A and B are shown apart, each in its own frame.
Chain A
Amino acid sequence: MSTHEIDSIAALPLATDISWMAEIETFWVATDSEELNDLQRDGATAVIDLAAEFEAGKGLENSDLRARVIGRMSDIQVRDFALGSHNADSAGWYWKMWRELLVTAPCGFIAPIASVFAALAYELGDSALAQRALDRALADDAHYSLAILLRRVFSAGWPAESFSAMRRDLHPKVVTVIFG
């Protein structure tokens, strides 16, 4: 990971800011919501919107969008969409985005973001950082299934290319569920 000079993923003070936490809470997706699909679409769209902001170098300007992504990631479909939304070209700014969200996510919202960040770090060849991200995910939610699964995958030494291929295969199915 020579391209990413900063690899600290410790929480920033913003993560415990009351107003920030309250803003993120408004984007929480309840599984029994009547408008669940609309919220999932909103979350998926927010992910690619924020990635585009990071691509344009404006990722830190729109705090509302960052809060929206962190909050909507509480939904499993949005998280799975996020897991497969990058490709080889966009991996760099997705890495920056997930890292930024990881260090500012409040308690209760860390596990999905840390898991996605771990997957991306693993694909980019930084398995040590990936394991640290999983530590954060499991510290936030010890039973978070994706983090447990990724821990097994990483520990088994799965080739990163196979993981990428699996993720690419899964992504259209997730998009179909949300937007189909």
Chain B
Amino acid sequence: MKRLLICVLFCALFTNPAQAADCIEKACIEVYTQNGTIVIEGRRGTGAVQKKSVAPAPSKPRLPIVRKTVRPKPKPVFTAQIKPKIVTSTKKPVVRKRASSASTAPATSLSDKLVEILPTAGIACSPSFSPLIQVPVYFWSDIPLLVTKKIEIVGELVEVRLKPTFLWHFGDGVIFLTRKAGGPFPDGEIRHTYSHAGHYAIQLITSWDGEFTVQGVTTRIPGKIESVSVLPISVVAAPSRFSSPVRFTH
């Protein structure tokens, strides 16, 4: 038991500072996907990965941080109560609040914010009411083709860029992959002609991939975020019928 305790103490003393050594001078930023959201984690100083960033108010943002002022939390809780701060491109000195015993420090897990910036695709088609067979139907979604955000976390400016890929299932077995959002007639690229009348469920799978930049270094965000949108449509036939000739009289 005593040996075990010594081993644990040895590991705690020597491994933790070594692992966190790179995060003292500059913050360690991780961006990844989790449960359909993008999570940005920032870590500065020693200790476990922090979802909350609390530091003594330094006069300059790059000063070394005193270790004891960081309050580690065993299980980070994602909270939407406090809105993360969105900064502009001009970098201003970060004003930090001194950690108090009441611990009212703001959460720096930015997953909530990034969930907000990934919109769910709405689908539209033209003609919207009973499109005909053998006539192209135009489809489009209202998703922006590039989502960029600048977020400040533990004193570092993180720029996240996300691009959607659209995978259209037209309901009759035809699939179309594109980076474009499409549009109504006549400019839309996403169009499909149905051969048979019937009810079809249009399915659009929007998958996001992207990269983030911290201190000039750009890294691809691992994983993907996918969302599915569905639009039911009824395609009808317009049969031609012979009729008696129409005579126009003056």
For residue A49, which residues in chain B have a CB less than 8 angstroms away from its CB? 179
- Does residue A48 face the partner (Cβ distance < 8 Å to B)? yes
Centre residue among B167, B189, B205, B209 by max chain A CB count within 10 A: B167
Q: Considering the chains assembled together, what is the distance between the CA atoms of A44 and B179 in angstroms?
A: 11
Contact (A179, B179) CB under 8 Å given A45-B165, A89-B189: no
Q: Mark A167-179, 1 if CB is under 8 A from B, else 0.
A: 0000010011001
A172 touching B174, Cβ below 8 Å:
yes
A180 touching B179, Cβ below 8 Å:
no
B175 touching A172, Cβ below 8 Å:
yes
- Does residue B219 face the partner (Cβ distance < 8 Å to A)? no
- Does residue B176 face the partner (Cβ distance < 8 Å to A)? yes
Say how far A171's CB is from chain B's closest CB, in angstroms.
Answer: 8
Q: Considering the chains assembled together, what is the distance between the CA atoms of A99 and B235 in angstroms?
A: 40
Residues 8-63 (chain A) with a chain B CB within 8 angstroms: 44-45, 48-49, 52
Number of A-B residue pairs with CB-CB distance less than 8 Å in the complex they form: 28
Q: Considering the chains assembled together, what is the distance between the CA atoms of A53 and B177 in angstroms?
A: 16
Q: Considering the chains assembled together, what is the distance between the CA atoms of A175 and B174 in angstroms?
A: 9
For residue B176, which residues in chain A have a CB less than 8 angstroms away from its CB? 172, 175
For residue A172, which residues in chain B have a CB less than 8 angstroms away from its CB? 173-176
For residue B173, which residues in chain A have a CB less than 8 angstroms away from its CB? 172
Residue total for A at the interface (Cβ-Cβ under 8 A): 13
Contact among A52, A89, A179 with B177 in the assembled complex (CB-CB below 8 Å)? A179
Q: Considering the chains assembled together, what is the distance between the CA atoms of A176 and B176 in angstroms?
A: 9
Q: Considering the chains assembled together, what is the distance between the CA atoms of A85 and B175 in angstroms?
A: 12
Residue total for B at the interface (Cβ-Cβ under 8 A): 13
Say how far B151's CB is from chain A's closest CB, in angstroms.
Answer: 25
Closest residue of A by beta carbon distance from B177: A175
Residues 147-190 (chain B) with a chain A CB within 8 angstroms: 165, 167, 173-180, 189
Closest residue of A by beta carbon distance from B189: A89
For residue A85, which residues in chain B have a CB less than 8 angstroms away from its CB? 177
Say how far A51's CB is from chain B's closest CB, in angstroms.
Answer: 9
For residue A179, which residues in chain B have a CB less than 8 angstroms away from its CB? 167, 175, 177, 205
Q: Considering the chains assembled together, what is the distance between the CA atoms of A176 and B177 in angstroms?
A: 10
Say how far B141's CB is from chain A's closest CB, in angstroms.
Answer: 16
Closest residue of A by beta carbon distance from B175: A175
Q: Considering the chains assembled together, what is the distance between the CA atoms of A15 and B42 in angstroms?
A: 41
Q: Considering the chains assembled together, what is the distance between the CA atoms of A172 and B178 in angstroms?
A: 13
Contact among B174, B175, B178, B209 with A48 in the assembled complex (CB-CB below 8 Å)? B178
Closest residue of A by beta carbon distance from B209: A45
Closest residue of A by beta carbon distance from B173: A172
For residue A89, which residues in chain B have a CB less than 8 angstroms away from its CB? 189
For residue B179, which residues in chain A have a CB less than 8 angstroms away from its CB? 45, 48-49, 52
Q: Considering the chains assembled together, what is the distance between the CA atoms of A97 and B174 in angstroms?
A: 25
Contact (A180, B175) CB under 8 Å given A45-B165, A89-B189: yes
For residue A44, which residues in chain B have a CB less than 8 angstroms away from its CB? 177
Q: Considering the chains assembled together, what is the distance between the CA atoms of A45 and B210 in angstroms?
A: 12
Question: What residues make up the interface of A, taking CB atoms closer than 8 Å to B?
Answer: 44-45, 48-49, 52, 81, 85, 89, 172, 175-176, 179-180
In the assembled complex, 15 residue pairs joining A and B whose CB atoms fall closer than 8 Å, in A order, are A44-B177, A45-B179, A48-B178, A48-B179, A52-B179, A81-B177, A89-B189, A172-B174, A175-B167, A175-B175, A175-B177, A179-B167, A179-B175, A179-B177, A180-B175
5 A-B pairs closest in CB distance: A175-B175, A172-B174, A172-B175, A179-B167, A175-B177
Known: A45-B177, A172-B175, A172-B176. 14 other contacts (CB 8 A): A44-B177, A45-B165, A45-B179, A48-B177, A48-B178, A48-B179, A49-B179, A52-B180, A89-B189, A172-B173, A175-B175, A175-B176, A175-B177, A179-B205
